[in-house]
Chain A
Amino acid sequence: MTVEAGGRTLPPRPLARSRRPRVPNLRGYALLAATLALWEVLSRFILPLSNPQVAVLMPAPSVVVVTAGHLIVSGELPGHLLASLKRETGAFLFALAAVPLGIAMGYWRAVHEQLYPLLEVLRPIPPLAWIPLSILWFGLGDTQNQFIIFLGMVFPILINTISAVHHVDPTLIRAARSLGAGERAVLTRVVLPAALPQIVTGIRVGLGVGWMALVAAELVGASDGLGFLINDARSLLRTDIIIVGMLTIGLAGLALDVGIRRLAVRLLPWSAALAR
């Protein structure tokens, strides 16, 4: 659909998908509800009778909800969530260095030639495999944690940025040059914006991988954060806290991803329209 030359009064087409009236479709949640109900019955009535020790390992959903309420009111859960988000953010700021590096690698063949083999060797090493070495390097604590998270983030961002630059339409670069753009203007005003949508994709993936690495890093070497919370609860046999922690990790990860996606649609409306 396009705006024709005669129709000057037509407003720009709204970029958001057309909104259908939202009727909550509950049918899709039927199995989930049934599972929760079954779980509740099992944990509350059947397990305690048959094997009380196992019952401790599987708290009822209602118990989890009550525990979550307590943890939120006491400020314990928000505190740990904040600690984790702080680590994620700190590591992310460092990992953003992958954007200029990726642009350089995507744009200049010589840089690519030199750095790509190094990248190929380092990338398949899981961030968690760095934990032992990083503890020796940085000691236990925030720096070591953030290093692990950084490693989880940096490769998806880097790989996506390189590929984004490789896929910039060469005609756009030619057009810019024939309009008088020098090397610097081509990089900052053509290559960067053209690559931005895929860079954002890299950032989304990176934040996700970083979030996974974060929990693992906190399990090993932290005194706060969601990973610490669930590991600490393990030693106290508080399975309800563990489950609350796990759900929080999942929901926070989801919120992070949805947030970035919404932000991208707002900041890069043209890219959302092109992707359709």
Chain B
Amino acid sequence: MGRLVVDGVSKIYDEPRGGPPVVAVDGVSFTLGNGEFCAILGHSGCGKTTLLNMVAGFEVPTAGSLSVDGTPIRGPGWERSIIFQDYALFPWLTVAGNVGFGLDMKKTAPAERDRAVRHHIDLVGLGGFEHHFPHQLSGGMRQRVAIARALGVSPRVLLMDEPFAALDDQNRRSMQDELVRIWQRQPKTVLLVTHSLDEAILLADHIIVMTRRPGRIKRRIAVDLPRPRDEDDPGYIALRKTLRALIREDAGA
């Protein structure tokens, strides 16, 4: 379960000062099969975050439709939980409280809730930190909590908005490896928004490259490199070159 269909979706913002309307996303269509990991790659301002917000249900498309497993998307919900760049942890809740929040919202039975909380805290390697508050954790650990919280509700599609952009290089790299490990243990449909070529290649099965203004799909590329991926692999280097050329073209236009 976890088939995301985006069909002819556009988003047009009215310019408040009477200028011409801004076309943020223009006629985007794609389908993500169950368990596929897809990265949307593009410059800032290419509408990738707007697209993610529409999948999350925070914004309503001007035209087109979105659905998960055949059910149209109307507003946010646990079937599409999201991992934010700035973690968005609840500072008044402990690690266990944060991970359990979504399960409470789903009215999970207490025993099942506790089991799921423990399982997901262990999954991200934070066993022993259940009773810590977010401010007592490092950035990387906070993002682990956010991953455990988003996975805890068993979403059909997991959304990620530049999830590791706030981390330093070393931490980012280890979190990316960690995410691949978690995803391989618990395959999930994932939609990741990023501006980092390496992040897209390291993580995703499919990379959707978007153009800027209006935001359209430029190309969809399948990544068939074995995991864990190696930056020195010739296939990796070739793919990186291709992606960079696609992105450059757009910036020059």
The 8 A CB mask of A168-198 against B (1 = contact, 0 = none) is: 0101101111111110010001100110100
B135:A270 contact, CB within 8 angstroms: yes
Bound CA–CA A248/B90 (angstroms): 42
A194:B92 contact, CB within 8 angstroms: yes
Number of interface residues of B (CB under 8 A): 38
Bound CA–CA A274/B136 (angstroms): 10
B149:A179 contact, CB within 8 angstroms: yes
Q: Cβ of A268 < 8 Å from any Cβ of B?
A: yes
B138:A180 contact, CB within 8 angstroms: no
Q: Cβ of B76 < 8 Å from any Cβ of A?
A: yes
Bound CA–CA A34/B56 (angstroms): 69
Interface residues of B in 45-59 (CB under 8 A from A): 56-58
Q: Which residues from B are CB-within-8-Å of A172?
A: 88, 90
Bound CA–CA A4/B137 (angstroms): 7
> Interface residues of B: mostly helix, strand, loop or mixed?
loop
Sorting the interface of chain A by its residue count into under 10, 10 to 19, 20 to 34 or 35 or more gives: 20 to 34
Bound CA–CA A8/B136 (angstroms): 12
A4:B131 contact, CB within 8 angstroms: no
- B45 CB, nearest partner CB in chain A, Å: 20
B78:A180 contact, CB within 8 angstroms: yes
B105:A181 contact, CB within 8 angstroms: yes
Q: Cβ of B183 < 8 Å from any Cβ of A?
A: no
Bound CA–CA A193/B98 (angstroms): 13
Q: Cβ of B236 < 8 Å from any Cβ of A?
A: no
Bound CA–CA A176/B129 (angstroms): 22
Residues of A within 8 A of B (CB): 2-5, 8, 12-13, 169, 171-172, 174-182, 185, 189-190, 193-194, 196, 268-271, 273-274
Top 8 A-B pairs ranked by shortest CB distance? A179-B102, A180-B78, A180-B105, A177-B76, A175-B88, A2-B138, A8-B128, A171-B88
